[in-house]
Structure 1
Amino acid sequence: MTDTDRIEPMKTLKVISRLLCYPRADLLGALEELAAAVEEERLLPPELRRRIGTLIAELRITDLYVLQEDYVNLFDRGRAVSLHLFEHVHGESRDRGQAMVDLVDLYRRHGFELSARELPDYLPLFLEFASERPVNEARELLGDAAPVLALIGERLALRGSRYGVLFDALLAFAGAPENLDEIREQAAAEGPDETVVNMDKYWEEEAVTFLAPGGCGSGQATEQPIHWVKPEPAGTVPAKQSVFGG
């Protein structure tokens, strides 16, 4: 069995998923273990492993309440760096609803069910799913999403965010999109996030509550944490398919 055919969970993708979750005390308690997993698996080049180690070290020495405030200000206020992937592809159009249905169907046909309500395009959840697939399939899944990942990463880099390295890591694993230069130019030319500038207006108009999986999100959800449930017996694995229209 080659590396690309292996089906053991990829710890590095799970670590990135966890680091993109809303910071909680249990995350801080697991930082040493997360850092060790990235180093031991060696899924990423040495420089990116070092940078992720630096991020983890910064998290370790930063007060939890500061981390939580920074996270909410970054990811939960506005849409420019939203961790809901289809928001960057479809916005609030009807196409987004169908894309959600297709993605849930993909999860289910690979033997996974969500145990509580969650938007399936939430990046930490998507990474959790990808981490359970063979390496070549995970690369293809993330490759489909690469333009969105690159755009979020560029916007984070322009904000000087510590989280930017996680998107660099995902692109290193999956491959950068062919139009990366255009994405960088787009991000550099953008003005202020309109959803932040007009926050009060959007809050009045929005009726959707975004819930977060397994300890992720802003901590305002009252649902039980989400985890993957593998049915017994597991369903038949379908042929690979794109969930981003590729």
Structure 2
Amino acid sequence: MTGPGNHQDVSKKDQITFLAAAWCLSYPDELLVSRVPMMRAALGEFAGASEPFAVVLSRLENTDLMALQGQYVQEFDLGKRHALHLSYWTDGDTRRRGEVLGAFKKVYRGQDTLVDTRGELPDFLPMVLEYAATVDMVTGKELLAQYRPSLELIKFGLQRDNLPHSEIMQALCHTLPGASPADEQAVMRMAGFGPPTESVGLDPYDPRLLPMRGA
């Protein structure tokens, strides 16, 4: 049986994991680099928590900032292989996605919290993680669980391209109920794969990474 203290430890570990992941998956700047010692210290309080972050934190400490920024743009902004917007993977660029994005905003407003989107869509993964870590862990985790297929597909895409952020994505998936699917095909079966039916005219998808549409 798990006692109250252990529940608190798990919750605290998840909170730190979510916040560190939110920062490490965001565009790198001087503030992010300055946070590396704080992240190392906080993650170091829990056995094994720092391991998935080790390579990314080392890069932040030891790589020129402009090079870091160039790498981030290449990995996350150019193309959609590692898109960090959760509803992209479930709804693609369809009209229905507007309703989904509105639902994210409604969640944030429901806590009477002013969420600075910083020009990002409200389903941007670092934003959802920061919301869970700093505002409402229960609701934030529910959002992440709802979009578990998106997390898994981002993870598999990063693994395929041998990028260290895949370890952070795996750590996030481990905080949610149930085991991770074995591969992308299993994720698609789990979520009810189907391509979006209403294109709004954006670039065609990589056929290997067609977004899923849930039931």
TM-score when normalising by structure 1: 0.66
- Matched residues in 1 for 2:37 and 2:8: separation? 27
Following TM superposition, by how much is the alpha carbon of 1:185 offset from its aligned partner in structure 2, in angstroms?
6.5
* Match of residue 17, structure 2, among 2, 7, 12: 12
Give the equivalent residue in structure 1 for 2:44. 39
Q: Which runs of 5+ in 2 are unaligned?
A: 189-201, 204-212
Letter in 2 for 1:33: M
Following TM superposition, by how much is the alpha carbon of 1:138 offset from its aligned partner in structure 2, in angstroms?
4.0
Change (3 A) 1:137 1:98: closer
* Match of residue 21, structure 1, among 18, 26, 29: 26
Q: Which runs of 5+ in 1 are unaligned?
A: 188-200, 203-243
The answer to whether the Cα contact below 8 Å between 1:151 and 1:183 also exists between their aligned partners in 2 is: yes
Letter in 2 for 1:172: H
Change (3 A) 1:184 1:33: farther
Letter in 2 for 1:31: V
Give the equivalent residue in structure 2 for 1:110. 111
Change (3 A) 1:118 1:63: closer
Change (3 A) 1:245 1:109: farther
Change (3 A) 1:6 1:56: closer
Count of aligned positions: 188
- Matched residues in 1 for 2:115 and 2:142: separation? 22
Is the partner of 1:78 in helix, strand or coil?
Answer: coil
Task: Write out per-residue CA displacement over residues 151-189 of structure 1, whole angstroms, 9 at most, x where no aligned residue.
Answer: 0001101101111111011011114566x12426789xx
1:66 equivalenced with 2:67 (yes/no): yes
Letter in 2 for 1:20: L
Give the equivalent residue in structure 2 for 1:152. 154
* Match of residue 120, structure 1, among 119, 122, 143: 122
Give the equivalent residue in structure 2 for 1:194. none
Letter in 1 for 2:23: R
Following TM superposition, by how much is the alpha carbon of 1:5 offset from its aligned partner in structure 2, in angstroms?
11
Give the equivalent residue in structure 1 for 2:56. 55
Change (3 A) 1:168 1:176: farther
Letter in 1 for 2:150: V
State, as a whole percentage, how many aligned pairs show the same letter. Answer: 26
Letter in 1 for 2:71: D
Give the equivalent residue in structure 2 for 1:92. 93
Is the partner of 1:174 in helix, strand or coil?
Answer: coil
- Matched residues in 2 for 1:62 and 1:17: separation? 20
TM-score when normalising by structure 2: 0.75
RMSD of equivalent CA atoms: 3.2
- Matched residues in 2 for 1:186 and 1:146: separation? 9
Task: Write out per-residue CA displacement over residues 44-97 of structure 1, whole angstroms, 9 at most, x where no aligned residue.
Answer: x61x52231333123211121111111101100111211111111111111100
Is the partner of 2:163 in helix, strand or coil?
Answer: coil
Task: Write out per-residue CA displacement over residues 131-159 of structure 1, whole angstroms, 9 at most, x where no aligned residue.
Answer: 13565544433221211101000110110
The answer to whether the Cα contact below 8 Å between 1:20 and 1:124 also exists between their aligned partners in 2 is: yes
